Amino acid sequence: MEAFVRSEIKNGIGTITFFHPQSNSMPGIQLSNLAVEIEKLGKDNTAKVIVLKSEVDKAFCAGASFDELIAIKDLQTGIKFFSGFANVINAMRKAPKFILARVQGKAVGGGVGIASSADYTFAVEQASVKLSELAVGIGPFVVGPAVERKIGNAAFNQLTINATEWQSAKWAKEKGLYSDLFSTVEDMDTGISALAQRLAESNPEAMALLKKVMWKGTEHWDELLIERAGMSGKLVLSDFTINAINKFKQKS
């Protein structure tokens, strides 16, 4: 299967599905397409609620594409790449309708950021999380505000500093990243369908206003996340980070 991002609307429920053969990792084009689809459904009045999901069972999202990271040779390219995550998070933040995330497997780095940017996140018990950025010489600068907003400063610091260790889905639910946790994908999908259908029948104006209230205080993120992209874009050019990424790729 080739990488894709696609969306559909059925019975008031907009569904965005993404896939990449490398554990649903995120090259720049994938991030761009994902942001476009989120913005598109956000503006489509026939979609009352949005469900965000990835294909296959192994991983929800492995974060940044290492192949693309190692190919970055100048600051402008680095900023452009990391701005892709900023654009996705800001699209999710500004969409005037609730976004439900379906986390059917492990989430790493940017994948944790996407899960944190959803308004309500469903997950299975196997959906462990890890912010691995420091382990490859950078840091979760772009996704950091979204993750910290969701789980708090102490838990964010734990994930960031202990960058090689997985935290369980149970831990993620206790910290507030996951709203509901299920033992099977089938049970999770039943729960997502039930909530999405209820929301599709709810007052769109009320939900849009609630979304605005819930994200109050993030109005400066358009500028903040691009500034953070500059931090990552600079670090990814260092010899330390290049060597760290190459070592990581050799192990995987």
Q: How big is the chain by its Cα radius of gyration, in Å?
A: 17
Residue 79 lies in a domain: yes
**In this model, does residue 219 exceed pLDDT 70?**
yes
Residue 163 lies in a domain: yes
The residues near 99 (Cβ < 8 Å, ≥ 6 apart) are: 38, 49, 50, 51, 52, 92, 117, 118, 119, 120
Residue 128 lies in a domain: yes
| Residue 116 belongs to domain with CATH number | 3.90.226.10
Residue 158 lies in a domain: yes
Mean residue pLDDT of the chain comes to 96
Domain of residue 26, residue span:
4-184
Q: What total of structural domains would you count in the chain?
A: 1
Residue 170 lies in a domain: yes
Mean pLDDT computed over 170-187: 98
CA–CA separation, 56 and 157 (whole Å): 30
Q: Residue 57 CB: number of other CB atoms within 10 A?
A: 11
Would you give the end-to-end CA distance of the chain in angstroms? 20
Residue 144 lies in a domain: yes
Residue 165 lies in a domain: yes
Residue 17 lies in a domain: yes
Mean pLDDT computed over 51-58: 93
Task: Write the Ramachandran bin of 183: left for phi over 0, alpha for psi from -120 to 50, otherwise beta.
Answer: alpha
What backbone phi and psi angles, to 5 degrees, belong to 240?
-60, -50
> Residue holding tokens 């084009």?
29
Q: Residue 48 CB: number of other CB atoms within 10 A?
A: 22
Q: In what order do the strands lie in the sheet with 59-61?
A: 59-61, 106-108, 129-130
pLDDT tier, 248 (very low <50, low <70, confident <90, very high otherwise)? confident
**In this model, does residue 252 exceed pLDDT 70?**
no
